Structure 1
């Protein structure tokens, strides 16, 4: 069978890359600097430091971990975006510096000072009419509780900030994606184009993560503290040349996160460094057939939620779909994972109810072990449904909603990659629970379905205590993987 890298590490079409960005990556020896190895590094080591730049400040947005022990780069980047949001020009940045090998998390004020120094060094190396506008956001991943090797980083930065090295080729983007990796088995890079407001927009995305994956990111905010030895994981970067304002970009990114990265789980552990940053240069070219006609957007005009509702809604849809594809790559590359599991919960009173139940199923170690063993153990699934931490009744709800055990249906369905099947009678589907009662199944047939790499699980609450007539029709989807012995082996070794 082909490896994950062979199946999921796909080359990108250079015609899909957005305009206005230049990138570079290099090997700085970060991991070796914090944990010296007696052996020499390979002749062509994987890059571990990358820079993404723009000629002028562009619209910037970000979502960050809710973990109380936020890493220094999380605090610094969220603070920069918050400061920008309060200005008349909105949140804008000129560059993003990425390092792998050291998370710079739980490193006290010294860690924040190192992060600030990294941002300053980049700003000093890049040309700018006004250095105050030369803002740099940071993405860091790797070992927690270890200071950044500033000497190694400072020595390597001039190599990737050189104007003769920075470029926008697909190969350079590929090297940047490699620089994101820690325990990942392949670079996670995607690009595509879409038409918006009379312009042909490009979008490119990179993410990384394989373990310590259960993000719950929100808009800019931050604190510091603590002391722990772990590996911090999920990072993401999306760059587009769509003409969208910083405020609209932030709103669109948060919407996309709620339906993509915040709906994945490998092991139920939320990292100190989870961050996804989005940049929009606004340099998308006008479509040939739009020239000479009436344009939805004038040159230099940016999409806003209120001023361009149709274009904004389309951008949100494009970004959400793109982020889903990126987030799925993380689940597929989960440490030791052999199966990709899609969990659909429906018949709930709100999206939040459905999301929390799907999350509960996705993080159950017993459910994940059963899936690894191709066991249709609906008892473990129901258990996770039953103890889900449901939100309190909202002010608009006339009465409390509860799960009705006599209404719950559970089934496994074949997943063809053509979207979610809606028909409960899909050929090959396996109903294991109907109206709260077990359904006799052929264990051999069940094993055949669950031995597949892609598994689709549906839990239908059928409205619970309200019933569909009272509005309990919401659904949510989560993506997770199985739990294998390999995951334990990887995470039992502190050196990984």
Structure 2
């Protein structure tokens, strides 16, 4: 697998993209689009929040036919909790995209992100679509423009691109995501858009996305809040020219490995840009009885506010980790738990088979002073393992979210 520098949604063959400032936000780009030259097999995963924004309801409805050609995304307004008017505005958006591109509205996926509960300035979006479509392009710059247009409190764009060979044919996967706050592992808690020129059976694509989501987006958390709006979308237009992939195809595993890499990369980029974050936390749980236990334990640690604040304070308060493991709901023997904190500086063993290990506080402070911190939990219940990613909880997180609507 080759990692493509500045890879993005325009990396695969046949995908155009672009961004435009239509005036939803006070400044900058706020309307992004991805367009496939031909209809593409499409898969989505949508938020599990019972309160779903109008765009999510639209996408779930039109995905009864899992072949799509375009995604239109606005930032600055979530179009959530906006009642019937919200659905009317989504339909108007899809119709305008269809009209300008000459495609059916049902082949358009719509996404929104931003403030909840405000009417969507749909007039600005409809006008913006007319201006955006003519400037869509295949270049890296066009893909990065789209990635910029979908940001809200994000401080950086999040993109990825890879290249692999299947059946002697070059296949590419590209992606972009947004997410910084209201991020919690309960699919999906951000926006992620992935494109690929692979030819693949649509049911195989959906199954693969379902499987990939469990160990990527569902294993991240910034603040424990699951959004009303967010989803992951994958479009595969088949323009690479390979024989259509099925699960038993000889090169399916090659594609699967690259596909998982793309989604994990985007998930981790979201965490690195967590609102107010100063630390990137990786929690490794090993030796669990079941895979689900391992995931549950890792997520419990990464979502713990007390663990997150300890990491912000660079305090090796390992009792908070053990406590988070204990209330996770997974069954384990506390007297068989070992615990290590590590970074590029070194490692500190804090617990060995349930017994506390004396450690140098000054040395522990040095280990935790690094940006990337790894928390490793070793159990003796079985052979399953899982990894979760999160960030610390800082003063700036409160400042950002205390002033979000203004």
Pick the TM interval, shorter chain: over 0.9
Give the C-alpha shift of residue 92 in structure 1: 0.6
Give the C-alpha shift of residue 375 in structure 1: 0.9
Give the C-alpha shift of residue 415 in structure 1: 4.8
Matched, 1:388 2:337: no
Tell me how far apart the structure 1 counterparts of residues 344 and 107 of structure 2 sit (CA, whole Å). Answer: 44
Q: Secondary structure at the match of 1:186?
A: coil
Tell me how far apart the structure 1 counterparts of residues 54 and 68 of structure 2 sit (CA, whole Å). Answer: 18
Tell me how far apart the structure 1 counterparts of residues 8 and 130 of structure 2 sit (CA, whole Å). Answer: 26
For 2:179, the equivalent position in structure 1 comes to 209
Pairing 1:51-90 to 2, within 5 Å after superposition: 51-81=33-63, 83-84=64-65
Matched, 1:109 2:79: no
For 2:225, the equivalent position in structure 1 comes to 269
After superposition, what is the alpha-carbon deviation per residue over 1:240-265, rounded to whole angstroms, capped at 9, x for unaligned? 11111211111111222111111111
Give the C-alpha shift of residue 192 in structure 1: 2.0
For 2:373, the equivalent position in structure 1 comes to 455
Matched, 1:341 2:281: yes
Identify the structure with the greater strand proportion. 2
For 1:293, the equivalent position in structure 2 comes to none
Tell me how far apart the structure 2 counterparts of residues 153 and 478 of structure 1 sit (CA, whole Å). Answer: 37
Tell me how far apart the structure 1 counterparts of residues 69 and 8 of structure 2 sit (CA, whole Å). Answer: 22
Give the C-alpha shift of residue 47 in structure 1: 1.0
RMSD of aligned Cα (Å): 1.9
Tell me how far apart the structure 2 counterparts of residues 246 and 213 of structure 1 sit (CA, whole Å). Answer: 28
Tell me how far apart the structure 2 counterparts of residues 135 and 244 of structure 1 sit (CA, whole Å). Answer: 18
After superposition, what is the alpha-carbon deviation per residue over 1:1-42, rounded to whole angstroms, capped at 9, x for unaligned? xxxxxxxxx96169981111111211011135xxxxxxxxxx
Tell me how far apart the structure 1 counterparts of residues 185 and 349 of structure 2 sit (CA, whole Å). Answer: 31
Unaligned runs of 5+ in 1: 1-9, 33-44, 85-90, 219-232, 286-296, 391-401, 417-427, 464-471
Pick closer, same or farther for the CA change 1:215–1:113 going to 2, 3 Å. farther
For 1:414, the equivalent position in structure 2 comes to 343
Give the C-alpha shift of residue 213 in structure 1: 0.5
Asked if 2 retains the 8 angstrom alpha-carbon contact of 1:212 and 1:268, the reply is yes
Tell me how far apart the structure 2 counterparts of residues 475 and 48 of structure 1 sit (CA, whole Å). Answer: 40
For 1:405, the equivalent position in structure 2 comes to 334
TM-score (norm. length: structure 2): 0.95
Q: Secondary structure at the match of 1:406?
A: helix
Matched, 1:150 2:122: yes
What is the number of equivalent residue pairs in this alignment? 403
Matched, 1:135 2:107: yes
Q: Secondary structure at the match of 2:277?
A: coil
Tell me how far apart the structure 2 counterparts of residues 377 and 96 of structure 1 sit (CA, whole Å). Answer: 45
Q: Secondary structure at the match of 2:138?
A: coil
Q: Secondary structure at the match of 2:334?
A: coil
Tell me how far apart the structure 2 counterparts of residues 23 and 67 of structure 1 sit (CA, whole Å). Answer: 29
Tell me how far apart the structure 2 counterparts of residues 65 and 245 of structure 1 sit (CA, whole Å). Answer: 24
Residue 445 of structure 1: which of 332, 348, 363 is its match? 363
Tell me how far apart the structure 1 counterparts of residues 108 and 380 of structure 2 sit (CA, whole Å). Answer: 49
Asked if 2 retains the 8 angstrom alpha-carbon contact of 1:65 and 1:215, the reply is no
Pick closer, same or farther for the CA change 1:324–1:14 going to 2, 3 Å. closer
Pairing 1:230-379 to 2, within 5 Å after superposition: 234-284=190-240, 297=242, 301-306=243-248, 308=249, 310-379=250-319
Q: Secondary structure at the match of 1:30?
A: coil
Tell me how far apart the structure 2 counterparts of residues 319 and 50 of structure 1 sit (CA, whole Å). Answer: 23
Tell me how far apart the structure 1 counterparts of residues 10 and 36 of structure 2 sit (CA, whole Å). Answer: 17
Tell me how far apart the structure 2 counterparts of residues 481 and 92 of structure 1 sit (CA, whole Å). Answer: 36
Structure having the higher Rg: 1
Residue 160 of structure 2: which of 187, 190, 195 is its match? 190
Residue 21 of structure 1: which of 15, 25, 45 is its match? 15
